[in-house]
């Protein structure tokens, strides 16, 4: 099948295409009509969605395109099930665009996989296999599975995942390009990998459960970011921790009123089994802290409260480290990814009190109550060292769209991989 050519013009479309039309069609392609006053990335995304609705598979950029303009078009074009090709124009860095695209597609395809096909073990294996394929000489990894999590002290992942016949997993992957086994760890990445979230005994509605295959979006995002950084020449030692489990109901599932004692001695009462992401991330954050990593980034589809705060076009960012948070937001601005800061203070640790433990895993009210995203971040801050310095938390409100939007396709978005990769490589 021949390529569909897409070009840019700073001239208005012919009147026959409609007043103020931003898109017109020519034989074998389309023309995007943009003002000559910047990149106009959002308008490019809107035009991309319109062209995508025509069922065109193979896109070729022709003419004068900036790399970020091409990227904006591709991000908005390639939804779930995309099988076509993208041919970048010759005046941009084709290799860099192809690298980004490979990382984005890996991330999206992993998130879009069905929950039956993607078990906790297969999620961990898929992530390890892809990263290893990029730099086999620098990669080592191990998986702690099922009951072995208990003996290793990773009680949060075990408790959340023990209700499923498919066991929970902690993946630890070490990318060490230095050749020195004793080299310090520059970064640790931690991802929430809930391959399906029923809510447990705090069961979700059918509508709320429908898209919970995407609840491993954090694991996919940090894996995609690490892979992208490696392909971009990452020289820093980086560890990856994926906290993988299915949150299901059974006669062996964890229950409301249970108390988990974590490796660092913190006790947590379960007041909502649907606030499970923070329970598994707590283990991953402790493992990252134990690694001695100078900086820790975690990513998770953690709270509906973040979606209510920033919508589905932004991810929410939390940190107790002002300088690191500012650096992450600068990376986001550099790569044109939408992230927004939400409040986190040390006292947010105390916002989920329990009469039976050091803390509860939420507040026993619908949706976790006011400030739920900040309270969840406060819970996580109990499990990182150095009083939260060197740690940033991504609550991935923009990770997934079931039906797409006027700027994004259906399914996973992979928003966040470029921001995190820029932190790693920069």
SS3 243: strand
- Strands, E assignment, 94-236: 139-145, 169-175, 187-197
One domain, residues 223 and 327: yes
63, 92, 121 - which closes a domain: 92
Instruction: Please give the average per-residue pLDDT across 96-103, as a whole number.
Output: 96
312 lies in a domain? yes
- 113 and 86 share one domain: no
In a domain, 100, yes or no: no
pLDDT tens digits, 51-95: 999 999 899 999 999 999 999 999 999 999 899 999 999 876 889
CB atoms within 10 A of CB 209: 14
Q: Which two tokens stand for residue 259?
A: 């108390």
In sequence order, the β-bridge partners of residue 190 are 241, 298
Q: Does some domain include residue 101?
A: no
34, 66, 92: which is the final residue of a domain? 92
How far from 225 is each of 19, 144, 213, 359, CA to CA, in Å? 42, 23, 20, 32
Chain center to CA of 225: 9
Q: Which residue has the higher pLDDT, 93 or 414?
A: 414
- Is residue 57 located within the same domain as residue 133? no
CA atoms within 13 Å, Cβ hemisphere of 53? 11
How far is it, in rounded angstroms, from Cα 309 to Cα 318? 13
Q: Which residues are catalytic?
A: 204, 278
| DSSP bridge partners of 359 | 268
CA dist list (Å): 14 to 31, 155, 369: 11, 64, 53
Q: Give residue-wise pLDDT tens across range 3-28.
A: 999 999 999 999 999 888 999 999 99
Tens of pLDDT, residue by residue over 312-368, are: 999 999 999 999 999 999 999 999 999 999 999 999 999 999 999 999 999 998 778
Output the pLDDT for position 92: 67
In a domain, 88, yes or no: yes
Residue finishing a domain among 47, 69, 92: 92
335 belongs to a structural domain: yes
Shared domain for 351 and 395, answered yes or no, is yes
Interatomic CA distance for residues 391 and 399, integer angstroms: 20
Radius of gyration, alpha carbons of the chain: 22
State the DSSP H helix or E strand holding residue 101, giving kind and residue range, or none if neither: helix 94-112
Mean pLDDT of 105-115: 98
Domain span at residue 80?
A: 4-92
Residues above pLDDT 70, as percent of the chain: 100
d(CA 333, CA 338): 8
Judge whether 197 and 302 are in contact, CB under 8 Å.
Answer: no
Long-range contacts of range 79-82, CB-CB < 8 Å, 24 or more positions apart? 79/52, 79/404, 79/409, 79/410, 79/411, 80/108, 80/112, 80/409, 80/410, 80/411, 80/412, 81/112, 82/409
Same domain, 198 and 248: yes
Distance CA 352, CA 364 (A): 9
Give the bridge partners for 194, in sequence order. 245
- Band (pLDDT 50/70/90 cuts) for residue 291 is very high
Helix (H, G, I), strand (E, B), or coil: what is residue 216? helix
Number of domains forming the structure of the chain: 2
Q: Report whether pLDDT(1) > 80.
A: no
DSSP 185: P
Nearest to 383 by CA among 239, 215, 260, 263: 263
CA angle 126, 132, 136 (to 5 degrees): 160
Give pLDDT, residue 197.
98
Which residues, at least 6 apart from 18, have a Cβ–Cβ distance to it below 8 Å?
Answer: none
112 and 85 share one domain: no
Q: Is residue 98 part of a domain?
A: no
Indicate whether 17 and 119 sit together in one domain. Answer: no
Do 59 and 127 lie in a common domain?
no
- Helices 322-334 + 417-425 axis angle, to 10: 110
CATH of the domain at 134: 3.40.630.10
User: Nearest 5°: phi and psi at 302?
Assistant: -95, -45
One domain for residues 87 and 110: no
Could you tell me if residue 188 is inside a domain?
yes
The pLDDT mean for the chain works out to: 96
Neighbours of 69 (CB within 10 A): 21
Same domain, 58 and 133: no
Q: Do residues 148 and 237 both lie within one domain?
A: yes
pLDDT in tens, 215-235: 999 999 999 999 999 999 999
Helix (H, G, I), strand (E, B) or coil at 140: strand
Q: Decide if 97 is inside a domain.
A: no
Q: Kind of pairing, strands 411-412 and 400-401?
A: antiparallel
Q: pTM score, two decimals?
A: 0.97
Mean pLDDT of 180-193: 98
Residues 279 and 347 in one domain: yes
């Amino acid at each position: 099948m021949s390529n569909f050519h897409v070009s840019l013009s700073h001239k208005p479309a012919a009147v026959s295409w409609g007043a103020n039309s931003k898109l017109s069609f020519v034989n074998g392609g389309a023309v995007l009509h943009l003002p000559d006053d910047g990149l106009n990335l959002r308008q490019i995304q809107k035009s991309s969605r319109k062209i995508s609705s025509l069922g065109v598979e193979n896109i070729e950029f022709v003419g004068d395109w900036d790399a970020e303009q091409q990227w904006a078009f591709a991000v908005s074009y390639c939804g779930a099930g995309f099988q076509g090709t993208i041919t970048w124009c010759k005046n941009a860095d084709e290799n860099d665009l192809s690298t980004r695209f490979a990382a984005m597609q890996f991330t999206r395809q992993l998130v879009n996989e069905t929950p039956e096909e993607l078990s906790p073990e297969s999620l961990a294996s898929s992530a390890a296999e892809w990263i290893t394929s990029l730099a086999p000489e620098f990669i080592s990894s191990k998986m702690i599975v099922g009951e072995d999590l208990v003996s290793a002290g990773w009680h949060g992942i075990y408790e959340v995942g023990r209700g499923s016949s498919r066991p929970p997993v902690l993946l630890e992957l070490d990318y060490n390009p230095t050749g020195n086994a004793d080299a310090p760890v520059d970064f640790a990445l931690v991802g929430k990998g809930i391959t399906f979230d029923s809510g447990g005994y705090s069961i979700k509605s059918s509508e709320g459960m429908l898209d919970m295959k995407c609840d491993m979006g954090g694991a996919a995002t940090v894996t995609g970011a690490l892979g992208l950084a490696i392909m971009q020449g990452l020289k820093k030692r980086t560890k990856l921790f994926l906290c993988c489990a299915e949150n299901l109901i059974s006669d062996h599932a964890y229950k409301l009123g249970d108390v988990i004692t974590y490796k660092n001695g913190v006790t947590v009462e379960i007041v909502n089994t649907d606030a499970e992401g923070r329970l598994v991330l707590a283990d991953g954050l402790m493992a990252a802290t134990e690694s001695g990593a100078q900086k820790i980034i975690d990513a998770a589809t953690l709270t509906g409260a973040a979606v209510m705060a920033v919508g589905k076009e932004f991810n929410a960012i939390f940190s107790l480290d002002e300088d690191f948070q500012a650096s992450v937001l600068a990376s986001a601005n550099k790569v044109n990814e939408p992230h927004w800061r939400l409040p986190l203070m040390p006292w947010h640790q105390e916002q989920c009190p329990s009469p039976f433990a050091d803390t509860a895993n939420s507040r026993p009210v619908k949706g976790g109550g006011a400030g739920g995203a900040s309270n969840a971040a406060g819970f996580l801050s109990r499990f990182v060292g150095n009083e939260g310095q060197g740690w940033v938390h991504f609550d991935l409100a923009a990770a997934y769209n079931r039906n797409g939007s006027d700027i994004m396709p259906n399914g996973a978005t992979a928003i966040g991989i470029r921001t995190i990769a820029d932190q790693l490589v920069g």
